[in-house]
């Protein structure tokens, strides 16, 4: 099958009979099997996808197909899909079958998308390498000895390695954008509340978002346009009307863009990434835009604030998995107390237990005000400072990650180093603002580099338009 870098030419070939949905599904099933060593999928819905493809082919013939006819998707193992398993990359939900479909997934299905399978991820979204999964680590297709990023690592690798056309991931602290950068694809984190969280297994409820991973910015715009909007099942979903993101036209209006001075001058950022950022800044200036260094005065508080608040929320959210009602139940339990302790002790992985304990600590009576309350105040200050910068600048431009993909196992024994991988991404989650990672070439080892754009709340249309100008898109499929 010829490589498609965006959905429009694929759909054109479908309408003109040069390809069929059944052909697409068979192609991806073959790719999933041949690239099984990447461990991107934890479940593949082969026969179901074939049946659905045949139905959609008939719709195309009849002229009744939806906007996503021919879009073969994978969904992260944190999104519910009725009558299919969902485990969040954890043993604690062994054998659990979802009774309903997440709103975001259902809206894509309603437009004739085909879900081909469930994708591997860090346990409940906790991680930046996709090594914290009960199903084992995912491998980066650019170098299978390296991580794909996390927590949506399986979702990013599946698009990178042509195992599906696009993926649906989740982003709590960079979990769509960081793996997108490591894998050389596009990852969009919408404004908090732009996409319903109904049917998403909760990690940190005030941070969690659902976003697409695609090959092109245009495809991210299409998926967002269909997923976004109010939802009676989610009170945090915004009632704001959804703009036609796919119809936002490019403008030649000069923009004012800020970039973090520390990203170019500070230690800890790979030289190759700094060079790509310099190239982007120079190109933007040549195109007539104003690009200036900015300082985020509260930057050093971003990671502590993020991890205090998210661990507190995960301590609460994961308390529902107790071995009693559903999921994993320890066979060694002898009474109610041991049932709780052993089921949770055996069912959760090391990283999940670490964050649950940290969260329980910061919520405890003696430390609640010292940590949790103070972090909430800092979160508000970070939002105010970011909004002040965005009142002066149209967008903020950062590297997505401080390094390219690191080797498997390299950071497993150093949780602090793993946390530092989120240094550029957590700002969007702490503030709830939209951000996108776009490919920006590779380093000397051929490892992908991503640049991140952060914009104002509910400004996805302008954000996507600007992202098109930065997207470095290869002409051929690399894998």
Give the model confidence (pLDDT) of 182-191 as tens digits. Answer: 999 999 999 9
Q: Which residue in the list 98, 128, 133, 151 is annotated as catalytic?
A: 151
Tell whether the model's pLDDT for residue 437 goes beyond 50. Answer: yes
Catalytic residue among 129, 155, 167, 175: 175
Q: What is the pLDDT of residue 477?
A: 46
Closest of 168, 159, 181, 182 to residue 35, by C-alpha: 159
pLDDT at 2: 86
Paired residues of 1 in beta bridges: none
Query: Across residues 213-220, what is the average pLDDT?
Result: 98
Strand ordering across the sheet containing 72-76: 41-44, 114-119, 72-76, 166-171, 209-214, 186-189, 435-442, 448-454, 395-399, 256-260, 290-294
Report residue 475's pLDDT band, with 50, 70 and 90 as the boundaries.
very low
Question: Residues 76, 155, 315, 437: which is the catalytic one?
Answer: 76
User: What span, in angstroms and rounded, lies between the C-alpha atoms of 397 and 252?
Assistant: 19
Helical H segments across 228-373, by residue range: 261-265, 271-286, 302-317, 336-347, 350-362
> Token pair for residue 266?
């500070």
Query: Distance between CA 45 and CA 57 in Å, rounded?
Result: 18
Beta strand 256-260 with 186-189 is unpaired
Q: Which residues contact 473 (CB under 8 A, 6 or more apart)?
A: 5, 215, 216, 439
Per-residue pLDDT at 474: 52
Known catalytic membership, residue 167: no
Residue with tokens 């299919």: 84
- With b for 16 or more beta-carbon neighbours within 10 A and e for fewer, the 208-228 pattern comes to bbbbbbbbbbbbbbbbbbbbb
Per the prediction, the chain carries an average pLDDT of 95
Give residue 372's pLDDT band: very low, low, confident or very high (50, 70, 90).
very high
Helix (H, G, I), strand (E, B) or coil at 58: helix
Q: Are 289 and 427 in contact (CB under 8 A)?
A: no
Q: Could you give the CA distance from residue 285 to residue 282 in angstroms, rounded to a whole number?
A: 5
Domains in the chain and their CATH numbers?
7-249+432-470 (3.90.1300.10)
Residues 450-475 have a mean pLDDT of: 89
DSSP lists the bridge partners of residue 187 as: 213, 437
169 within 8 A of 40, measured Cβ to Cβ: no
pLDDT band of residue 62 (cuts 50, 70, 90) is very high
Q: What is the pLDDT of residue 310?
A: 98
User: Residue 276 in 3-state DSSP?
Assistant: helix
Q: What is the pLDDT of residues 87-135, one digit of tens each?
A: 999 999 999 999 999 999 999 999 999 999 999 999 999 999 999 999 9
Which pTM value belongs to this model? 0.96
On the 0-12 / 13-18 / 19+ scale of CB atoms within 10 A, 366 is: exposed
**Residue predicted with more confidence, 172 or 470:** 172
76 is catalytic: yes
pLDDT average, residue stretch 300-315: 97
């Amino acid at each position: 099958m010829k490589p498609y870098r965006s959905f429009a030419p694929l759909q054109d070939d479908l309408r003109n009979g040069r390809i069929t949905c059944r052909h697409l599904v068979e192609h991806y099933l073959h790719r999933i099997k041949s690239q099984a060593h990447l461990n991107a999928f934890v479940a593949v819905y082969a026969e179901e996808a074939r049946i659905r493809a045949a139905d959609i082919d008939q719709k195309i013939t009849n002229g009744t197909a939806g906007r996503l006819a021919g879009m073969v998707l994978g969904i992260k193992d944190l999104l519910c899909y009725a009558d299919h398993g969902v485990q969040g990359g954890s043993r604690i939900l062994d054998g659990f079958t979802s009774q309903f479909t997440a709103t975001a997934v259902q809206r894509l299905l309603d437009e004739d998308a085909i879900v081909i399978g469930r994708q591997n991820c860090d346990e409940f979204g906790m991680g930046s390498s996709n090594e914290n999964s009960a199903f084992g680590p995912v491998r980066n297709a650019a170098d299978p000895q390296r991580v794909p990023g996390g927590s949506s690592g399986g979702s990013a690798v599946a698009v990178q390695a042509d195992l599906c056309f696009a993926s649906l991931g989740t982003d709590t602290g960079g979990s769509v954008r960081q793996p997108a950068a490591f894998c050389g694809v596009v990852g969009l984190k919408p404004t908090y509340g732009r996409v319903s969280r109904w049917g998403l297994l909760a990690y940190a409820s005030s941070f969690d978002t659902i976003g697409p991973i695609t090959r092109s910015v245009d495809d991210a715009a299409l998926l967002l346009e269909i997923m976004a909007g109010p939802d009676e099942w989610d009170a945090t979903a915004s009632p704001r009307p959804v703009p036609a993101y796919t119809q936002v036209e490019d403008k030649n209006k000069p923009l004012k863009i800020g970039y973090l001075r520390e990203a170019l001058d500070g230690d800890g950022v790979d030289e190759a990434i700094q060079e790509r950022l310099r190239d982007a800044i120079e190109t933007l200036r040549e195109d007539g835009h104003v690009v200036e260094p900015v300082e985020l005065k509260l930057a050093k508080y971003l990671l502590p604030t993020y991890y205090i608040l998210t661990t507190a929320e995960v301590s609460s959210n994961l308390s529902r998995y107790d071995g009693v009602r559903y999921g994993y139940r320890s066979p060694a339990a002898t009474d109610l107390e041991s049932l709780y302790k052993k089921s949770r002790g055996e069912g959760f992985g090391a990283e999940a237990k670490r964050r649950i304990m940290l969260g329980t600590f910061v919520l405890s009576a003696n430390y609640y005000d010292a940590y949790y309350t103070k972090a909430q105040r800092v979160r508000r200050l970070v939002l105010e400072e970011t909004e002040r910068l965005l009142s002066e600048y149209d967008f903020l431009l950062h590297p997505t990650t401080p390094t390219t993909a690191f080797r498997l196992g390299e950071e497993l024994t150093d949780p602090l180093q793993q946390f530092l991988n989120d240094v550029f991404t957590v700002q969007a989650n702490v503030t709830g603002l939209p951000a996108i990672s776009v490919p920006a070439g590779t380093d000397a080892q051929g490892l992908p580099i991503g640049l991140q754009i952060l914009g104002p709340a509910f400004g996805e249309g302008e954000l996507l338009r600007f992202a098109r100008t930065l997207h470095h898109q290869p002409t051929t499929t690399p894998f």
